Amino acid sequence: MTRAYVTLTGAPPLPTMGADAHWLRPGEHARVARSTASRVFHVIEGRGRSRVDETELTWEPGDTFVAPPWHWIEHDNGSTSEPACLFSFTDEPAIRALGLWREERAAAR
């Protein structure tokens, strides 16, 4: 999974809100991670599934879903030939400014 901020500087678009584009290559499985930030995902293109803790969600263009803080998140592109793009907003900049940021990544499979 590649990650790109929407500003040219790499900084969040607002002091309290971040935005990311999550591009998943065909067949890509994004690593499992969790953090103290919450995230709202919106599907721009592609089809696939995401797991937020124990809840599995299938998605397609136009769908929106939320990952609350400290929930494991993983994404799978459902296509072996087309990319998928998830756009997300996060409160990570505010959480970092408050000194509450924490992140954990699952061990490699």
Residues 46-88: tens digit of each pLDDT:
999 999 999 999 999 999 999 999 999 999 999 999 999 999 9
Q: What is the pLDDT of residue 11?
A: 78
Domain count for the chain, please give it. Answer: 1
Q: What is the pLDDT of residue 31?
A: 87
Which amino acid is located at 39 in the chain? R
The CA distances from residue 59 to 14, 36, 64, 74, 99, in Å, are 27, 24, 8, 13, 33
**Other Cβ atoms closer than 10 A to 31:** 12
CATH number for the domain harbouring residue 37: 2.60.120.10
Residue 13 domain boundaries: 2-105
